Amino acid sequence: MKMNNFLLSEKIYKLSETEILILTDFWDADKQRLWIKADMRNTNTVDELYRISFVNKLRGYFHFTATIMSNHWIHTNLDRPELEDDDKFSDIGIYITKNDKLIKKITYKTPHISELQNRFSEEIHKFDGEYIFNNINKEPIFICGTPGGGTSYVAKMLQYCGLFIGDDVCRFEDRKTFESTSITILQWYFVRQIIKEKLYKDVDNNIDNIFQLISGSDRMKKWLINKGDGSIDSNELELFEKEFIKVLLTFWGDNLLDLKWGFKKPFNMIWIKYLIGIFPNAKVLIVDKKKENKIEGRSFEGKLFEKMDQKEYELFTEIGDDLECNNRKCDFDKMNKDVDYFNEVMEWCGLSIKTKEDHYQMLVDLKYDDVKLIRR
């Protein structure tokens, strides 16, 4: 590999007392090529046989596997067409096996070509977080519900119809999250500060943390159950508002301040009284897709949440009796199959409605799985 490239990043993983894996990526501006290098180091004098696989399942044309000995390296590359292919853009799984036994799996967050060509640039923002907070619409839409229950797809629909859901969400074609990065970090920071549970610190391991929230400590469970009782500690609300304002700059960017806005997070319901505390006129859209004994085609998270008992499920889909806010349920399946129902929800959100033809075209553009059935 020619070294006229420049280093993007380097990460060291300790595999054992004697083994480390060094992952580096390089950008070759001349060839418009991204190199990913895996360097296996082992201070043990006994040679081991390693196999390192780079796998991207959504890209059938990119799959690389090689076998190396200790203290050797391999590399693979992505060329410009792969880096700018938005439609099939996804991360790369790096699997490390030792003597045919899997010992580590790492996810490489693939950058887009635009990020590589303009890697260093100065950002001068027009507004700060407090100015944004004081001047934006005070009637946002908070999308919540159970993970795996269609919240991401509904957020995608609302964005398609004109709702601004954050300058820091994932790319348009990613169907898995559609969540603001800054709001995600704020959620876990806030939970740790308010509940004072140091256990919930891994913002990347989302699904494990979710189930710890439900079945974990008595302190956390009590807070969850009482989330909708309407009472808010003034110090907690002040902390929440302060931290919310801090992340607004990342969330909003340099977009116009008069946008209709909101954000999606399945666990918005967990902290809904704090959101309503700073935005009393907000709307809460609750996506509900629980189907008893029907888990075929559901995501991993969706299958887990299907197995919840009703009381646990309602923690994520029911507003507390004492909390007054403008809210409504949203049937995920009817949003896709019934244009009249879809328009009813859009009107409630204050967004544009669609003709039957436009609704179908939206499903095509958003790659809805059963779009052919809708046309029939």
pLDDT digits (tens, 9 = 90+) for 157-166: 999 999 999 9
Say if residue 138's pLDDT is above 50: yes
**40-44, 127-131, 140-144, 224-228: least confident range:** 224-228
Tell me which of 2.60.40, 3.40.50, 1.10.287, 3.30.70 is the CATH number of domain 129-375: 3.40.50
* Terminal-to-terminal C-alpha distance of the chain: 53
* Cβ 327 vs Cβ 285: under 8 Å: yes
- Please give the structure tokens belonging to residue 196: 């004072």
Q: What is the CATH number of domain 7-117?
A: 2.60.40
Please check whether residue 266 is in contact with residue 183, taking contact to mean a CB–CB distance below 8 angstroms: no
State the sign of the Cα–Cα–Cα–Cα dihedral 147, 304, 323, 225: negative
Q: Is the pTM of this model over 0.75?
A: no
Lowest-confidence range among 72-81, 276-285, 292-301? 292-301
Does 19 or 54 have the greater pLDDT score? 19
Name residues whose C-beta falls within 8 Å of residue 307's C-beta, 6 or more positions apart in sequence: none
Closest CA to 375 of 366, 367, 361: 361
* pLDDT at 182 > cutoff 70: yes
User: What is the distance between the alpha carbons of residues 308 and 283, in angstroms, rounded to a whole number?
Assistant: 26
- Give 320 or 356, the one with higher predicted confidence: 356
What lies within 8 Å, CB to CB, of 32 at 6+ separation is 79, 80, 113
**Average pLDDT of span 264-287:** 88
Q: For residue 263, give every residue at least 6 positions away whose Cβ sits within 8 Å of its Cβ, in sequence order, or none.
A: 140, 142, 143, 155, 165, 166, 179, 180, 183, 251
**In Å, how far are 140, 163, 283, 304 from 249, measured between CA atoms?**
16, 18, 22, 35
- C-alpha 266/C-alpha 247 separation (Å) is 19
H or E stretch including 79?
strand 72-79
For residue 25, give the 3-state DSSP assignment: strand
Tokens of 31: 């060839």
What residue spans define the domains of the chain?
7-117, 129-375
DSSP reduced 3-state for 19: strand
Report the side by side order of strands in the sheet with 72-79: 6-14, 19-28, 33-42, 72-79
Q: What is the pLDDT of residues 311-351, one digit of tens each?
A: 777 777 888 777 788 999 999 889 999 999 999 999 999 99
How confident is the model at residue 223, as a pLDDT? 55
**Residues 10, 8: Cα–Cα separation, whole Å:** 7
List of long-range contacts for 245-248, beta carbons under 8 Å, 24+ apart: 245/129, 245/130, 245/133, 246/129, 247/129, 247/182, 247/183, 247/185, 247/186, 248/129, 248/132, 248/133
User: If DSSP codes are grouped into helix, strand and coil, which group holds residue 52?
Assistant: strand
- Report residue 317 as tokens: 């889909």
Of 109-113, 287-291, 314-318, minimum mean pLDDT range: 287-291
pLDDT exceeds 50 at position 205: no
Sheet holding 326-331, edge to edge: 262-264, 141-145, 283-288, 326-331
Torsions phi, psi of 133, nearest 5?
-60, -40
d(CA 78, CA 61): 11
